[in-house]
Structure formats: C-alpha cells, structure tokens
Amino acid sequence: MYILVLNAGSSSQKSCLYRLETELPQQPPEPLWSAHIDWIAADFGSLMVKSNGVQQQIELANRNQALEIMLKTLVQGSTKVLDNLEQIDVVGHRVVHGGAEYSQPTIITSEVKNAIADLIPLAPNHNPAHLEGINAIAKILPEVNQIAVFDTAFHRQIPKPAKVYPLPYEWFQRGIQRYGFHGISHQYCATKTAQILDKSLDSLKIVTCHLGNGCSLAAIANGICIDTTMGFSPLEGLMMGTRCGSIDPQILLYLMREYGLNGDELNQLLNKESGLLGVSGISADMRAILAASAEGEEQAQLAFDIYIHRLRSSIGAMIASLGGLDALVFTAGVGENAAKVRAKTCEQFAFLGLHLDIDKNNACPMNEDIAISDSQVRVLVIHTEEDWEIATQCWQYIAVQG
C-alpha cells in the first residue's frame, strides 16, 4: 500500500510517501520520497525533493500549481519512485483543528471539508492550508481516498474539569473549551516511550514536552491524554518562539482601553511578536537565545529564564494531574536538540528522584533514555515522527474498514 502524507502549514508544506505491507514495521522506515515547500512570499516558494539518494530543488512561482508540480516529481525525472500517481492508495492529511466532533482518522467528505472550513476562525493559520491541499488532491487524484488525521483528536478524552473554562457554562456549550494541539506528536511519543522502556503504555504516567517554535505539554495516563497546556487555541500555555502563552486576560482589556489596540493588532502582538522574540528582542530561535545569553545579553538570558520557569511550572501541573510520573519526554526542535533546556528543566525535579545522566544529555541523544540508571523517573529524548504517525493511522483505518 502506498500512502502519501501531506502536512501543510501556513508557510510550508511537508510531504512524504511510504510503502507499507501487510504488517506495520516496529521502527519508522525512511520514506520512499519526501518533499518540502517553503513559501517565501504569497506566490513564491522553493520545493526541495529527496528520493533515490537524489536531492532536487525547484523554484515555485504559482501557489495554485505547487502541489501538482510536487506530485510530478513522484513519477518523473531522477526522483521518480512511481510509474503513475494512480498507484497511490490513500492520502493522509494532518489537520490541526477538528473541533469537538472528530476523535478518529476520518475519510474526507464534503461534510468533513465543511467542518474544517467552519473551524478556520479557531485555526486561521493552518486549516485554510489543509483545505488547499485536500482540494488540490481531489482535482489531481479524484478517485483516491483522502483521510484527515486531526491534531486535536488525541486530546478529546480530556476530562471536563480540565476541558471546561470557568466561564458561564453556555460558552462551553457553544464550543469554547480546551481542545489541545500537537496531538499527533504527543501520541507518537507516548507510544515510542513505552517501546523504548519495554513497558505497556497503559501502565505508564508520562509527560510529553513538544518544544519547537510552538510548545505544548501533555499529561498521558494509560495511553490517554488527561491534560494539556494548549487550549482553545495554540496560543495558551507555555512561552513559545513568538507566542506569549498564558497571560492575564485583563492585559488585553487594558491594551484595548488604554492604547487603542484592535483585534488584529492584539493577534499580531500575542502570536507574532511575543515569546522568546518579544522578551529577547533578538530572535525566536532558541539557538540564537542561548548564543546571545552566553555572550552576556541580559534580555536573552531573561527570555531563557522565563521559558524555563514556565516550562517547569507547567510540567508540575501535568504531574499533579497524573498523580505521579514515570517518564518525562522531550521532543521537537528545541526538545530534541537543546541539552541546556533539558538540563535546566530537570534540575527542579530532583525531589521526585529524577536525575539526568549529564554525559548522555550532552551527547546528542535520540530515541534514548538519558536518566541515570537509578533515577526514579525516566527521561527520554524522542525524535517525533508526525508523518509516520499519520501514515500509521491511515494504514490502521484502511485495515479496519477494509
């Protein structure tokens, strides 16, 4: 079975092709083909394709034709891996927001597309890009099944005390609730944690830390997410690259009343100008923050200190939700690569009997337990494989549905 995965963002598009047989492999295989589109401007971008040991770059000048150009590299030239596009059995799409309705991978119908469109106000940077990819595939491969795998689905079982905001209850009934995001990554990392530790997932209490430009935590008990830091939108929770995370809502009212900021200006401030970038005045990239801090830049150091303070505090909240902790997991760009972030975060949890192996932590670990042998809490660094998780869920859906 050939499964094409499309992972669309507001300014990029990641894609890959897997070939799966009758059984899923224990370890994620290398995709037969992968592609990455970076949109430098609204209608100008760059496509990078890798397959057959070949890497090819193509300039794109028309967004409407980008996906068609990308798919042609599957069947033409040095990156060819298929005889024709009709060999593709299913296309799996990462969809950031599925609302309260969708808790499982779902065949995309007109009803599902309408639901994704209705949720654009809650995910304005992502859901439009998902629809763009879905509609393009429907035009190019009208007979192929398309499956939506929702980032919010893993968080659907969060209990009401964690899900419902303390507003008048009617607002919950109208859809204002904690949805949670990065669910595909959190789910993959939880499963991988059980595999690495050689334990049953339903026996573990896990906190997964997805730390990239966007950041979120998930408290996972018996394989089920019972709490998470992102909420109604991906803005809530941890301090992030350009997002502020949780702040006093009265600040927004104050900015509106005293400084005349409108909705668009507040959105720009909170989502694009805050976080590491806003505090440091230097960069949203943790690597740049660490470098500037090492050179004595006080605001960069302050940005790092706030980041760690909020990360520790939120991990503490997740541990309280779980009533204990078996494993703390770091993943995504910062989580996988910033040894100092892991070390400073873990320092504060020594009272739980959590102790890092400093040499392992500093040795670029990947899919590895980096706690000392007698640590009472295991600490893992896991390379998140969202695309493989999407492919796996598509394969399982097809296997069950026949």
Residues 349/354/360/362 CA torsion (nearest 10 deg): 10
Task: Say how far apart CA 206 and CA 189 lie, in whole Å.
Answer: 10
Catalytic-labelled residue, pool 38, 89, 151, 264: 151
User: Which residue, among 30, 62, 383, has the nearest Cα to 195 in the 3D structure?
Assistant: 383
Tokens coding 19: 């070939």
In angstroms, the Cα distances linking 121 to 99, 118, 273, 333 are 11, 7, 20, 27
CB 3 within 8 A of CB 395: yes
Task: Say how far apart CA 97 and CA 123 lie, in whole Å.
Answer: 6
Q: In what order do the strands lie in the sheet with 12-19?
A: 54-60, 44-51, 33-41, 12-19, 2-8, 90-95, 145-150, 106-107
CB 60 within 8 A of CB 116: no
CB 228 within 8 A of CB 178: yes
- Bridge partner list, 383: none
CB 3 within 8 A of CB 89: yes
Tokens coding 212: 């990239």
Specify the pairing of strand 327-331 against strand 205-211.
Answer: parallel
User: What secondary structure letter does DSSP report for 202?
Assistant: G
Task: Say how far apart CA 226 and CA 209 lie, in whole Å.
Answer: 14
CB 81 within 8 A of CB 52: yes
Catalytic residue at 151?
yes
- DSSP-based three-state secondary structure for 277: helix
In terms of Cβ atoms closer than 10 Å to its own Cβ (0-12, 13-18, 19+), residue 299 is middle
CA end-to-end span of the chain: 13
In terms of Cβ atoms closer than 10 Å to its own Cβ (0-12, 13-18, 19+), residue 248 is exposed
What positions carry a catalytic annotation?
151
